[in-house]
């Protein structure tokens, strides 16, 4: 791919509104933007979506920065990178650090599309012109007000962040003013085995799904709960690879898969999970990470694949940002987002604003002699 330079930027972007989960409130989002340039000056952009603290996974933006700078960038055989998937192969010898891996590979996918003059959706076999959009409801949101606004915009799936043991009340309140809302809840691993009877009580609430009720990696408890529920369970944090997905499905631990490019280590692994799930009739949807438009653009391309039959966490840029990193910004119209056809991710990166929000940068020039 004739890589000439890799630039990493540590950025911080102010959220338009606070985003709150059980683990705390996010007001400003730290991200790492990776820019890979080839010898002809074309640039590909990727994003490392790890958070500042290890509340979602053990990885953080700081740990990802150090691993990329000290290990991954100097260790890659850059002259052997002829396709983005080669990056996944080379980095597979190191454990974990999937978000760092995903951001690096993402920049290659964008660049590769620009080199071939193809959109990322076309490169990976996407077939949709539009993807259906879902939205995440934060604990900081004034729910009745924001739900009414999102219904006017046509969002087609609503994911509710919850407080432990207050889900039933929250769901009932929402159903009172939006009885037909396609609603799911995200438990983020809050529950234990003793809570199975309580979670069973949510079976009558008419939810689309319950996401990740138990801690990551506990396929057994998810299996036990799914056996006692009609409501589908969906796994998120538990699934970091195709091997995890196979284990979860074959054990009966879930009926739905949330695919996040960053959580599984990159687009290459995400594509493998999608293909296996499609062949085995497992519904999948694309999760989000309170990310900028760069990462969102990669998600749009992924969600254009046939197997993504549930609206994902792919909302408009204005859901989180007064100003996004891409031009044009992502817009939701009648609950759908148009899949761009321009080369690579299909959006222009606003490099002026990117520079403005950059707090630290690092340039690496590979030895390709």
Same structural domain, 128 and 161: yes
The model carries a pTM of 0.95
Backbone angles phi, psi at 351, to 5 degrees: -70, -25
In this structure, are 43 and 174 located in the same domain? no
pLDDT of residue 270: 98
pLDDT mean across residues, the chain = 95
pLDDT score of 133: 96
- pLDDT tens across 340-353, in order? 999 999 999 999 99
- What gap in Å lies between CA 219 and CA 154, rounded to an integer? 35
Within a domain: residue 346? no
- The answer to the question of residue 229 being in a domain is yes
Cα of 109 vs its chain's centroid, Å? 16
Catalytic residue positions, numbered: 161, 260
Which of 6-10, 133-137, 185-189 shows the highest mean pLDDT? Answer: 6-10
Q: Do residues 320 and 267 share a domain?
A: yes
**Any idea what the CATH number is for the domain that residue 30 is in?**
3.30.390.10
- In this structure, the answer to whether residues 16 and 68 fall within a common structural domain is yes
Are residues 264 and 144 both part of a single domain? yes
Question: Given this model, what pLDDT does residue 201 score?
Answer: 95
Domain check: are 87 and 138 in the same one? no
Does residue 88 lie in a domain region?
A: yes
Which residue, chain included where needed, has tokens 């260790």?
75
Length of the chain: 369
Asked if 38 and 87 sit in the same domain, the reply is: yes
Same-domain pairing of 256 and 301? yes
pLDDT at 369: 62
Check which CATH number belongs to the domain holding 160 and give it.
Answer: 3.20.20.120
> pLDDT, tens digit, for every residue of 275-315?
999 999 999 999 999 999 999 999 999 999 999 999 999 99
Cα–Cα distances in angstroms (integers) from residue 143 to residues 158, 161, 254, 294, 332, in the given order: 11, 11, 28, 28, 19
367 part of a folded domain = no
Q: Please indicate, yes or no, if residue 128 is contained in any of the structural domains.
A: yes
Q: According to the model, what pLDDT value does residue 20 have?
A: 63
Q: For residue 281, is it within any domain?
A: yes
The number of domains in the chain is 2
110 and 126 co-located in one domain: no
Per the structure, the complete domain to which residue 289 belongs is given by 122-338
Alpha helices (H) in the chain, listed in sequence order: 61-67, 73-75, 85-91, 98-116, 120-124, 143-153, 167-177, 196-200, 219-226, 242-251, 267-279, 293-303, 351-357
pLDDT class for 23, splitting at 50, 70, 90? low
Helix axes 293-303, 267-279, angle to 10 degrees: 30
Same domain, yes or no: 81 and 135: no
Residues 355 and 319 in one domain: no
Q: What is the pLDDT of residues 220-229, one digit of tens each?
A: 999 999 999 9
Residue 368, domain member (yes or no): no
Give the CA angle between residues 252, 212, 196 to the nearest 5°. 75
Residue 271 has pLDDT above 80, yes or no: yes
Q: Are residues 75 and 158 in the same domain?
A: no
């Amino acid at each position: 791919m004739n890589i000439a330079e890799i630039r990493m930027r540590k950025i911080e972007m102010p959220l338009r509104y606070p985003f709150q989960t059980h683990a705390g409130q996010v007001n400003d989002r730290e991200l790492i933007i990776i820019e890979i340039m080839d010898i002809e000056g074309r640039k590909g952009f990727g994003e490392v979506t790890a958070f500042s603290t290890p509340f979602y996974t053990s990885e953080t933006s700081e740990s990802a920065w150090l691993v990329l700078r000290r290990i991954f960038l100097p260790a890659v055989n850059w002259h052997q990178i002829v396709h983005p998937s080669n990056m996944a192969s080379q980095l597979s010898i190191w454990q974990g650090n999937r978000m760092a891996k995903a951001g690096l590979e993402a920049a290659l996918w964008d660049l590769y599309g620009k080199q071939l003059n193809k959109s990322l959706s076309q490169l990976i076999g996407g077939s949709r012109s539009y993807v259906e959009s879902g939205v995440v409801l934060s604990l900081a949101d004034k729910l009745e007000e924001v739900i009414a606004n999102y219904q006017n915009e046509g969002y087609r799936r609503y994911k509710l962040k919850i407080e432990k043991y207050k889900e039933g009340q929250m769901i009932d309140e929402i159903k009172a003013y939006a009885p037909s809302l396609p609603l799911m809840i995200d438990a983020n691993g809050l529950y234990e085995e003793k809570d199975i009877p309580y979670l069973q009580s949510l079976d009558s609430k008419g939810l689309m799904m319950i996401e990740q009720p138990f801690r990551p990696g506990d396929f057994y408890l998810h299996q036990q709960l799914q056996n006692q529920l009609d409501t589908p369970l969906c796994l998120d944090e538990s699934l970091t690879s195709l091997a995890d997905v196979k284990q979860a499905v074959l054990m009966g631990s879930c009926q739905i898969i949330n695919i996040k490019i960053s959580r599984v280590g990159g687009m290459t692994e995400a594509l493998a999970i999608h293909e296996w799930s499609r062949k085995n009739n497992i519904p999948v949807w694309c999760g989000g990470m309170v990310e900028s438009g760069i990462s969102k653009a990669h998600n749009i391309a992924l969600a254009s694949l046939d197997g993504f039959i549930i609206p994902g966490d792919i909302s408009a840029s204005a859901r989180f940002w007064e100003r996004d990193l891409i031009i044009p910004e992502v817009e939701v119209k009648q609950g759908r987002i148009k899949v761009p056809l321009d080369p690579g991710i299909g959006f222009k990166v606003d490099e002026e604003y990117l520079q403005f929000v950059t707090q630290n940068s690092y340039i690496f020039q590979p030895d390709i002699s």
